[in-house]
C-alpha cells in the first residue's frame, strides 16, 4: 500500500470520528509528546472531542511545550460509575467530598434552586471513544497498564498506528509506519496538511508547528544523529515557515540545565566503563545516584549522546537507568550501521531503530541486569569482530603430556651425577703444553696451570742436567 493511500485512509477515518483518544508511548519524549499535543490542538480546530493520555508523567524538560497540561494519565473505563446531576433549574456553588467509615459522601451546595432526587441519575461508565490514535509507539506494551487494563478497548475500537520505528508490530487497523522518517512528527506534518486542505481549516499554527519541530529536533539530536535525512531538514524548514519557534526549543532542550541535572551527568560520566576489546562503553545510574545528586530519573535526558561524544572508538554505547520500581531501563546506541541496535533490543523485549533503541529488564537487580546486557553485547561483538573466546580456546587445545613424578626425580638425579662427573674431569684434565721459541735458539716448554687451581702456584725451577758441549735445555714446572 502506497504512503499516499495510507495517508488518505488516516484522514478519512479521522474525519468520520468524533471522540478520539490519543496515546503517546512511554517513557514520553519530545517526539511522542510533541505528536500527541499537536494532534490534540489540530483536531480541536476540527471540533473533535480529543483526549490525550500517557502512562508516565511528562519530563520537566518538556514543560515549556504549549498546552502540555492537556496530557492526562487516566482514561475513561467501563469500570467507572457516573453520577449525573441535571442542573437545568439548579446552580451549583460548591462540591465537597468526605469519608465516614466505609461511606464516601459527595456534598453538593446549590447557589440557587433546590437539589432533589429527580435531578440525579446513575449510570455505569461507558467507553465512548470511536477512534484511538497511537503515536511513536512500536508496540502496545509501550502503553503499559493503559493497554493492559483495557485490552478489549483496542479490539472494539479502530486504531491508527503512526510511528517510525523499525520494530513496529503493525498492530493498528491502519498502520502509518515509515522507518525512513526521522520522527513521528515528520509523518504527522503531511497528514495535518491534507486534513487542513480537505476541511479548509488552518490547522498548523505556530504552536502546532513548534510541537512538530520539537519531535524532529529531539529525535535527530539537533540534526546530529544518523537518522537525519534531507527530508528531515526540508520538513524542519517547512515548519519554521509555519512559525515554529526553533530557538525556544533549542534553548529549553539543549541550553538549559538545572544544577541537579549537571551533578547527575557528572556522576554518570565518572562511572563510565569500557571494554576496549569488544568496543563497548556504558554507564549505570542508580536510585542512589538520583538521591545523592537530588535529581530525577527524566533528567538523564540526552546523556547517552554525551557518552557517545566521550567514547571515541566505541561501537556499542548504552546507559542503564535504575527506575524507582526496580526496573532497569536501557538506552542503546551503535556507531556502526552493521550493528543493529533494534535487533539487540528485541532480544530483551524492546525495540527501536537500527542505531538507536531501548528496552527494560524487570525482576533483577541492576547489577544482574548490567551483567546480562554486557554478556549479550560481548557475544554480538565477538561474533562480528571475530574475537576468539580465550577460555573456550584453552579448553579446545590439546592437553600437554603428563610426566610421572618418580620418572622426573630419576631424571634429575641422573643429570646431577652427570654434572658431578664433568666437574671431576675438568679438575684433573691438563691442557697440552705450548712450546715457544726463545731468542738465542733456546726452547722453553711451559705447562699451563690446571683449570681449577684453588690458589696461586709456587714457581720453582729445577736445576737442569748439563753436559760439556751440550746446549742448555731448561725446563720449568708449576707445582702446587
Band (pLDDT 50/70/90 cuts) for residue 424 is low
- The answer, yes or no, to whether residue 231 has pLDDT greater than 80, is yes
User: Do 136 and 242 have their domain in common?
Assistant: yes
Secondary structure of residue 192 in the 3-state scheme = helix
Residue 171 confidence (pLDDT):
95
- What are the C-alpha distances in Å from 255 to residues 63, 109, 249, 252, 302? 15, 50, 9, 6, 12
Residue 471 confidence (pLDDT):
43
Residue 123 confidence (pLDDT):
67
Band (pLDDT 50/70/90 cuts) for residue 476 is very low
User: Do 59 and 170 have their domain in common?
Assistant: yes
Band (pLDDT 50/70/90 cuts) for residue 473 is very low
User: Do 158 and 19 have their domain in common?
Assistant: yes
Is the entire prediction scored with pTM above 0.85? Answer: no
- The answer, yes or no, to whether residue 467 has pLDDT greater than 50, is no
- The answer, yes or no, to whether residue 421 has pLDDT greater than 80, is no
Contacts 24+ apart (CB under 8 A), 201-207: 201/45, 201/46, 202/45, 203/42, 203/45, 203/46, 204/42, 204/242, 205/41, 205/242, 205/243, 206/242, 206/243, 206/244, 206/245, 207/41, 207/66, 207/67
108-144 confidence digits (pLDDT tens)? 888 888 888 877 887 655 667 999 999 999 999 889 8
Pick the last residue of a domain from 336, 367, 392.
392
Residues 214 and 185: their CA atoms lie apart, in Å, by 8
- CATH number of the CATH domain containing 170: 3.90.1640.10
Which helix (H) or strand (E) is 29 found in, with range? Answer: none
- The answer, yes or no, to whether residue 324 has pLDDT greater than 70, is yes
Give the number of other CB atoms < 10 A from CB of residue 223.
Answer: 14
Residue 258 confidence (pLDDT):
80
pLDDT more than 70, % of the chain: 78
Band (pLDDT 50/70/90 cuts) for residue 226 is confident
- The domain tally of the chain equals 3
DSSP H helices, 322-441, are 341-346, 366-385, 390-396, 405-428
The CA dihedral of 112, 114, 117, 122, to the nearest 10 degrees, is 10
User: Do 37 and 182 have their domain in common?
Assistant: yes
Cβ atoms of residues 65 and 214 within 8 Å: yes
User: Do 106 and 198 have their domain in common?
Assistant: no
Residues 245 and 182: their CA atoms lie apart, in Å, by 19
Three cell numbers, residue 296: 530525577
Band (pLDDT 50/70/90 cuts) for residue 277 is very high
**Mean per-residue pLDDT, 378-402:** 69
**DSSP string covering 213-261:** HHHHHHHTTTTTSTT--HHHHHHHHHHHHTT--HHHHHHHHHS---HHH
User: Do 191 and 210 have their domain in common?
Assistant: yes
Domain presence at residue 337 = yes
Pick the last residue of a domain from 227, 254, 281.
254
Three cell numbers, residue 139: 508496540
- CATH number of the CATH domain containing 282: 3.10.310.30
Mean model confidence pLDDT for the chain? 82
Domain presence at residue 27 = yes
Secondary structure of residue 274 in the 3-state scheme = strand
Cβ atoms of residues 10 and 39 within 8 Å: no
**DSSP string covering 98-120:** EEETTEEEEEEEEEES---GGGE
b (16+ CB within 10 A) / e for 65-96:
bbebeebeeebbeeeeeeeeeeeeebeeeeee
The region of weakest confidence among 255-269, 285-299, 410-424, 449-463 is: 449-463
Residues 374 and 367: their CA atoms lie apart, in Å, by 11
The CA dihedral of 333, 334, 339, 344, to the nearest 10 degrees, is -20
- The answer, yes or no, to whether residue 472 has pLDDT greater than 50, is no
Residue 376's domain spans which residues?
A: 259-392
**Mean per-residue pLDDT, 278-307:** 86
Q: Please enumerate in sequence order all residues whose Cβ is within 8 A of that of 52, keeping only pairs 6 or more positions apart, or say none.
A: 22, 23, 24, 36, 37, 39, 40, 70, 71, 72
Bond from prior residue into 27 cis (ω within 30 degrees of 0): yes
Which helix (H) or strand (E) is 212 found in, with range? Answer: helix 206-219
Cα 331 to chain centroid, rounded = 3
Pick the last residue of a domain from 232, 254, 276.
254
Domain presence at residue 480 = no
Domain presence at residue 119 = yes
User: Bigger pLDDT: 390 or 335?
Assistant: 335
User: Do 65 and 89 have their domain in common?
Assistant: no
Roughly what angle, to the nearest 10 degrees, separates helices 206-219 and 184-199? 160
- The answer, yes or no, to whether residue 436 has pLDDT greater than 80, is no
Residues 34 and 271: their CA atoms lie apart, in Å, by 32
User: Do 264 and 387 have their domain in common?
Assistant: yes
Cα 80 to chain centroid, rounded = 40
Band (pLDDT 50/70/90 cuts) for residue 74 is confident
User: Do 55 and 103 have their domain in common?
Assistant: no
**Mean per-residue pLDDT, 215-239:** 92
Q: Write out the E strands in 54-196.
A: 71-72, 81-85, 91-100, 103-112, 120-124, 131-135, 159-163, 174-177
Band (pLDDT 50/70/90 cuts) for residue 379 is very high
- The answer, yes or no, to whether residue 96 has pLDDT greater than 60, is yes
- The answer, yes or no, to whether residue 203 has pLDDT greater than 90, is yes
Three cell numbers, residue 363: 525482576
Domain presence at residue 443 = no
Residue 408 confidence (pLDDT):
57
146-193 confidence digits (pLDDT tens)? 998 888 889 999 999 999 998 899 999 999 999 999 999 999 999 999
Residue 125 confidence (pLDDT):
58
Residue 310 confidence (pLDDT):
66
- What are the C-alpha distances in Å from 478 to residues 201, 287, 428, 449? 128, 91, 15, 7
Domain presence at residue 438 = no
User: Do 235 and 120 have their domain in common?
Assistant: no
Q: Please enumerate in sequence order all residues whose Cβ is within 8 A of that of 350, keeping only pairs 6 or more positions apart, or say none.
A: 167, 330, 357, 358, 359, 360
Secondary structure of residue 311 in the 3-state scheme = coil
User: Do 101 and 171 have their domain in common?
Assistant: no
Domain presence at residue 408 = no
Q: Please enumerate in sequence order all residues whose Cβ is within 8 A of that of 403, keeping only pairs 6 or more positions apart, or say none.
A: none
Domain presence at residue 448 = no
Residue 278 confidence (pLDDT):
93
User: Do 100 and 183 have their domain in common?
Assistant: no
Angle in degrees, CA 326, 328, 333, rounded to 5: 165
Closest CA to 68 of 77, 78, 53, 58: 58
Amino acid at each position: 500500500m502506497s504512503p499516499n493511500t495510507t495517508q488518505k485512509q488516516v484522514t478519512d477515518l479521522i474525519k468520520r470520528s468524533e471522540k478520539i483518544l490519543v496515546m503517546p508511548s512511554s517513557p514520553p519524549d519530545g517526539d511522542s509528546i510533541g505528536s500527541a499535543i499537536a494532534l490534540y490542538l489540530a483536531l480541536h480546530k476540527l471540533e473533535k472531542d480529543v483526549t490525550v493520555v500517557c502512562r508516565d508523567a511528562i519530563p520537566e524538560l518538556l514543560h515549556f511545550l504549549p498546552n502540555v497540561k492537556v496530557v492526562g494519565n487516566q482514561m475513561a473505563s467501563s469500570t467507572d460509575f457516573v453520577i449525573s446531576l441535571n442542573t437545568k433549574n439548579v446552580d451549583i456553588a460548591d462540591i465537597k467530598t468526605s469519608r465516614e467509615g466505609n461511606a464516601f459522601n459527595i456534598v453538593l451546595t446549590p447557589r440557587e434552586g433546590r437539589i432533589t432526587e429527580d435531578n440525579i441519575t446513575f449510570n455505569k461508565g461507558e467507553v465512548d471513544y470511536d477512534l484511538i490514535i497511537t503515536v511513536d509507539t512500536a508496540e502496545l506494551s509501550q502503553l503499559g497498564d493503559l493497554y493492559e487494563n483495557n485490552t478489549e478497548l483496542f479490539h472494539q475500537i479502530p486504531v491508527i498506528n503512526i510511528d517510525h520505528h523499525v520494530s513496529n508490530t503493525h498492530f493498528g487497523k491502519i498502520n502509518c509506519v515509515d522507518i525512513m522518517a526521522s520522527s513521528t512528527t515528520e509523518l504527522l506534518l503531511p497528514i495535518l496538511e491534507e486534513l487542513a486542505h480537505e476541511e479548509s481549516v488552518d490547522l498548523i499554527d505556530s504552536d502546532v508547528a513548534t510541537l512538530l519541530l520539537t519531535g524532529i529536533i529531539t529525535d535527530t539530536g539537533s540534526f546530529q544523529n544518523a537518522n537525519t535525512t534531507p527530508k528531515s531538514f526540508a520538513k524542519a524548514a517547512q515548519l519554521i515557515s509555519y512559525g515554529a519557534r526553533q530557538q525556544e526549543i533549542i534553548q529549553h532542550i539543549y541550553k538549559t540545565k538545572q544544577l541537579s541535572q549537571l551533578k547527575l551527568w557528572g556522576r554518570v560520566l565518572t562511572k563510565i566503563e569500557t571494554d576496549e576489546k569488544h568496543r563497548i562503553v556504558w554507564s549505570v545510574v542508580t536510585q542512589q545516584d538520583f538521591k545523592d545528586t537530588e535529581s530525577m530519573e527524566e533528567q538523564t535526558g540526552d546523556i547517552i549522546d554525551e557518552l557517545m561524544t566521550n567514547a571515541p572508538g566505541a561501537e556499542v554505547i548504552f546507559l542503564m537507568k535504575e527506575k524507582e520500581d526496580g526496573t532497569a531501563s536501557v538506552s542503546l546506541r551503535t556507531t556502526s550501521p552493521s550493528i543493529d541496535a533494534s535487533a539487540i533490543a528485541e532480544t530483551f523485549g524492546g525495540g527501536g531503530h537500527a542505531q538507536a533503541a531501548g528496552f527494560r529488564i524487570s525482576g533483577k537487580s541492576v547489577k544482574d541486569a548490567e551483567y546480562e546486557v554486557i554478556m549479550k553485547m560481548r557475544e554480538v561483538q565477538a561474533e562480528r569482530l571475530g574475537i576468539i573466546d580465550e577460555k573456550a580456546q584453552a579448553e579446545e587445545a590439546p592437553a600437554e603430556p603428563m610426566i610421572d613424578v618418580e620418572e622426573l626425580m630419576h631424571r634429575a638425579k641422573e643429570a646431577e651425577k652427570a654434572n658431578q662427573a664433568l666437574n671431576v674431569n675438568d679438575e684433573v684434565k691438563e691442557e697440552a703444553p705450548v712450546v715457544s721459541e726463545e731468542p738465542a735458539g733456546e726452547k722453553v716448554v711451559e705447562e699451563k696451570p690446571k683449570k681449577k687451581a684453588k690458589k696461586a702456584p709456587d714457581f720453582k725451577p729445577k736445576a737442569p742436567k748439563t753436559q760439556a758441549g751440550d746446549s742448555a735445555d731448561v725446563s720449568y714446572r708449576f707445582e702446587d
